């Protein structure tokens, strides 16, 4: 099964190349990724029990986002939390990419910290999918087949 997953990831990457996603570096989302990274860093610090102070201006800027989720509870809040944890792994991978993708992991030295953060993203997503009884393998394969039908850069997206 591991070989099948690896083969599928290679096929997905090959298709992304064919569709133009690797023609040039993608730009334009760094500011948003940095904001996400900042918030996820706070989440991870708080998960570790460290109280991180956020300025009043930071809170005002983020309040409108938080307000939209203030009345959400139950399953939606749970799923939102699990998705936020997936996002925290994305932010950790973002930080590793910024720091250098070749830095070896202290936990599993044969892999870089960046590689293991990518693995964490997949692990958390697969965990959520299984918990929700989603056939993620079938969904990935179906989405990959659909992407084969799409035009170059999916019709003109910038990044």
- pLDDT tens string 115-149: 999 999 999 888 888 888 888 988 998 999 999 99
pLDDT digits (tens, 9 = 90+) for 78-106: 777 777 788 888 989 999 998 888 999 99
Token couple for 147: 């992407």
3-state secondary structure 94-158: HHHHHHCCCCECCCCCCCEHHHHHHHHHHHHHHHHHHHCCCCHHHHHHHHHHHHHCCCCHHHHCC
Residue extents of the structural domains in the chain: 26-156
Q: What tens digit of pLDDT does each residue of 146-156 get?
A: 999 999 887 87
Please, are residues 103 and 96 in contact by the beta-carbon 8 Å criterion? yes
pLDDT at 114 over 80: yes
136-148 and 2-18 are packed helices; what angle lies between their axes, rounded to 10 degrees? 20
Q: Can you spell out the DSSP letters for 53-81?
A: ---HHHHHHHHHHHHHTTT--HHHHHHHH
């Amino acid at each position: 099964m591991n070989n099948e997953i690896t083969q599928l990831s290679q096929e997905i990457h090959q298709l992304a190349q064919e569709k133009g996603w690797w023609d040039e570096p993608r730009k334009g989302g760094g500011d948003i990724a940095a904001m996400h990274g900042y918030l996820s860093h706070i989440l991870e610090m708080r998960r570790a029990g460290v109280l991180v102070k956020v300025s009043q201006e930071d809170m005002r800027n983020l309040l409108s986002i938080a307000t939209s989720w203030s009345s959400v509870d139950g399953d939606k809040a749970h799923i939102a939390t699990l998705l936020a944890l997936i996002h925290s792994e994305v932010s950790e991978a973002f930080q590793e990419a910024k720091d250098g993708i070749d830095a070896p992991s202290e936990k599993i030295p044969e892999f870089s910290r960046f590689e293991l953060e990518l693995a964490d993203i997949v692990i958390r997503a697969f965990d959520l999918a299984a918990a929700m009884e989603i056939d993620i393998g079938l969904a990935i394969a179906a989405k990959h087949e659909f992407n084969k039908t799409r035009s170059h850069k999916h019709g003109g997206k910038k990044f």
